[in-house]
Amino acid sequence: MVKRRTVLRNGIVIGTAGLVGLGSSGTVTVGADPLETDDELSAETSITVNRFESGAYPGQNELEEWSEHVAFEDASIADGALRLEYDDGGFLASNVMDDLSEYSHLVLVVRGDDGGEEDDIQLEVGSVEGLLSELTDDSIGAEFSPVVVDLEEIGVDRSFVDDVQLNFWQYGSGAVEIEEIAFVGGLEENPGDPGGGTDITGETTLDEFYPEHREEDVLRAWTEYIPGDLSSGHGSAGSQVNWPDAEKADEFDVDLDMIENRHSNDDATLTFDDMGTQALGHVQQYEAEGFPRQASAKLLPRLSLLPDETEALTYHNEPQEVWDETAGPIAATNDPDQLIQDPWPPDARSYEPDQVAIRDRAHDQPQHEDQEGWTTADNLPDDRYYDDDNPIHDIADGIHPATGESLGGDGFTANAPMEVEAKIHVENDGFWYQVLNFKNVSNVPYYLNAAVIMWIGPAGANGDLRTGHYNNEQRPQPGYGHPQRDIIAVSHDEERALTAYAVRLAFHDEPYNMRTAYPNQRWGLEQGTSKPEGHFETAEERQELVDTMAETCHVEIETDMDRNDDLLDAVNLRNRMSN
């Protein structure tokens, strides 16, 4: 398969498999490597018209015919993609001059800056033309994906096709990036594993399960954090989780010596049986839900140690007192659909800069943006703390701060299935921790990098923004998988001593198996705050406070690797707290 880099945004790049190409098996795949069972599409034959990484373009396409673009606001080729910026103008044309009778579909591998650009493009194939949005049910997304046009359905005479043209004189403006234009035959949707993962057995090897595991550094990520061979990690927030990994490995019969041996010999004959009693069942469950194998393979180091029962969370410090008053657990009232993030970012164990930029895209964002607009204030200035116009206040009314639309519930909301529980831990007579514990109640994991958590809680944290902690038992110990945080506090109701908070998690260094909320497992936040004097002194007031924390809480898990920039911009969340 052709390897290339796909531009995501702001110069960040990620390695991906060629989206249209001939695999070693003689099959053509669209959307993924042919060896993966979760491919979106497969085809028997293909002919590539344009592949913009080849060097022949502009002037010539892959058929050695004329091909060119003209009249765009700006056009460039980078990282194997042709970028076209348009403002009611420009066209791309590529001669074919051939009999395409054996090919049933045209495939464009494309992304748009905004998504939805199919309304801006007039497509011409041979003598047939029309708006792209009228010739296909597919849409252009913000990430590279195939847009497929059924040639027979739109009436193309395939016995001779002279050219393919895309023109942008449709009164629209924006930008698209095109990786490939191809005709394919025998196209069909790949049903994946109809047995719901039952083809995976204890004898299935890592190579058989996910042949591309070396590109994902699966064994390396595993052995770098092998139980019993760890220091304290960075940002250590405590010495131990409740159930240490070494004890889990013994309990679940994980053959750690076998894993280390396989890695040292670059031997991927490691089987699910070698991984112990847990990994196989988890992977089979995820397969049945359509979870990508690329992600399951990355998570194997934790899945082998992942218990069936829900683990209790370890807290940063043992509190002096825990309020009797709590709220929850409360399920998200907007009833979110199961979230499957695809693809998952690289773990970058070799620290190649391009991969690190994707892995740590939230953590490194201040550097990506040359620190412009970023602060590191433990105590926000008055113009940010007393900001009545900040849309973060809208969460009190169930409104999304970035979109202005309803969050869709009448209490706690999220964009992935989860529960929340709110508590107050008393550290001493003058200092509390707000505690928000979450539980993944879906059937698949979701990673937490760049997740944004918003809620309304007790005033007093401004000046103590740095005293916050992330909790998750699914990591070797609290010194690992410990994120930095982007955080703001905005006074919401001075009379009631309430403040609106937003926190974004910004992980770095450690692999994604430590940045993840696993099904039936908890993760959580602690945020320190000075005790608001004269408030929350009665049981009734305390209950009202924790109810407010839970009911106003909204969690936005990252999708499309977009860093949740819309929320970052909307609530002015560029305030970084280190570990």
Burial 304-325 (b: 16+ CB within 10 A, else e): bbbbeeebebbbbeebeeebeb
Predicted local confidence at residue 366, as pLDDT: 96
Q: Which pLDDT score, from 0 to 100, does residue 578 have?
A: 87
What average pLDDT does the chain have? 87
Out of 14-23, 339-348, 469-478, pick the least confident. Answer: 14-23
Residue 569: per-residue pLDDT: 96
Residue 315 lies in a domain: no
pLDDT confidence tier of residue 408, bands split at 50, 70 and 90: very high
Q: Looking at 303, 335, 361, which one is the last position of a domain?
A: 303
Residue, of 575 and 267, whose pLDDT is higher:
575
pLDDT digit string (tens) for 120-174? Answer: 999 999 999 999 999 999 999 988 999 999 999 999 999 999 999 999 998 899 9
- In a domain, residue 505? The reply is yes
pLDDT tens column, 422-448: 999 999 989 999 999 999 999 999 999
Arithmetic mean of pLDDT, 451-465: 92
Q: Would you say 359 and 347 are in contact if contact means Cβ atoms under 8 Å apart?
A: yes
Amino acid making up residue 331? A
Q: Are 139 and 163 in contact (CB under 8 A)?
A: no
| Same-domain pairing of 277 and 332 | no
Asked whether residue 114 falls in the same domain as residue 71, the answer is yes
Q: Is the pLDDT of residue 189 over 80?
A: no
Boundary residue ending a domain (303, 332, 354): 303
562, part of any domain: yes
In a domain, 134, yes or no: yes
The single-letter DSSP state of residue 25 is T
Label residue 33 by pLDDT band (50, 70, 90): very low
In the structure, what pLDDT confidence band is assigned to residue 5 with cuts at 50, 70 and 90? very low
Instruction: Let me know: does 223 contact 241? Beta carbons within 8 Å.
Output: no
Q: What is the band of 534 on the pLDDT scale with cuts at 50, 70, 90? A: very high
Q: What is the number of other CB atoms lying within 10 angstroms of the CB of residue 406?
A: 12
Per the listing, tokens 């373009």 go with: 57
pLDDT at residue number 235:
42
What is residue 266's predicted lDDT score, i.e. its pLDDT? 81
- Residue 464 is predicted with a pLDDT of 87
pLDDT of 201 above 90: yes
Q: In this structure, what CATH number is given to the domain that contains residue 135?
A: 2.60.120.430
Domain C-terminal end among 303, 335, 357: 303
Max CA separation in the chain (angstroms): 83
* pLDDT for 44 beyond 90: no
Whether residue 275 sits in one domain with residue 180: no
Q: Clarify whether residues 122 and 263 are in a common domain.
A: no
> What sign does the CA torsion over 161, 165, 169, 170 have?
positive
User: In the prediction, which pLDDT does 316 show?
Assistant: 85
Higher pLDDT, 565 or 5: 565
- Asked if pLDDT for residue 265 goes beyond 90, the answer is no
Percent of the chain with pLDDT over 70: 88
Q: Check whether residue 169 and residue 299 sit in a common domain.
A: no
Give residue 269's pLDDT.
87
Average pLDDT over residues 56-66: 91
Torsion of CA 256, 479, 510, 315, to 10 degrees: 100
- The tally of domains found in the chain comes to 3
Shared domain for 393 and 486, answered yes or no, is: yes
**pLDDT-derived band of residue 318, with 50, 70 and 90 as boundaries?**
confident
What pLDDT is stored for residue 24 in this prediction?
A: 26
Residue 112 lies in a domain: yes
In a domain, 207, yes or no: no
H helix intervals, 326-379: 353-359, 365-368
Q: How confident is the model at residue 230 (pLDDT cuts 50, 70, 90)?
A: low
The answer to whether residue 311 sits within a structural domain is no
239 band by pLDDT with thresholds 50, 70 and 90? low
CA distance 124 to 132: 9
**Residue 418's CB: how many other CB atoms inside 10 A?**
24
Residue 493: what pLDDT?
96
Residues 293 and 330 in one domain: no
Whether 521 and 377 map to the same domain: the answer is yes
CA distances in angstroms from 315 to 4, 250, 436, listed in the order given: 43, 25, 11
Contact 519, 444 (CB under 8 A): yes
Q: Is the pLDDT of residue 34 over 50?
A: no
Strand duo 161-167 + 91-98: pairing: antiparallel
Under DSSP, the state recorded for 543 is H
Same domain, 120 and 221: no
Rounded Cα distance, 347 and 470, in Å:
20
Q: Can you spell out the DSSP letters for 437-454? A: EEEE-SSS-EE-TT-EEE
Say yes or no: 274 and 327 in one domain.
no
Q: What percent of the chain has pLDDT over 90?
A: 75
d(CA 423, CA 526): 9
- The CA R_g of the chain, rounded to the nearest whole Å, is 26
Domain holding 272, by residue range, is 213-303
147 plus 292 within the same structural domain: no
Confidence label for 43 from pLDDT (cuts 50, 70 and 90): low
What are phi and psi for residue 109, nearest 5 degrees? -95, 110
Model confidence at 18: pLDDT above 70? no
194 located within any domain: no
Same domain as 419, residue 276: no
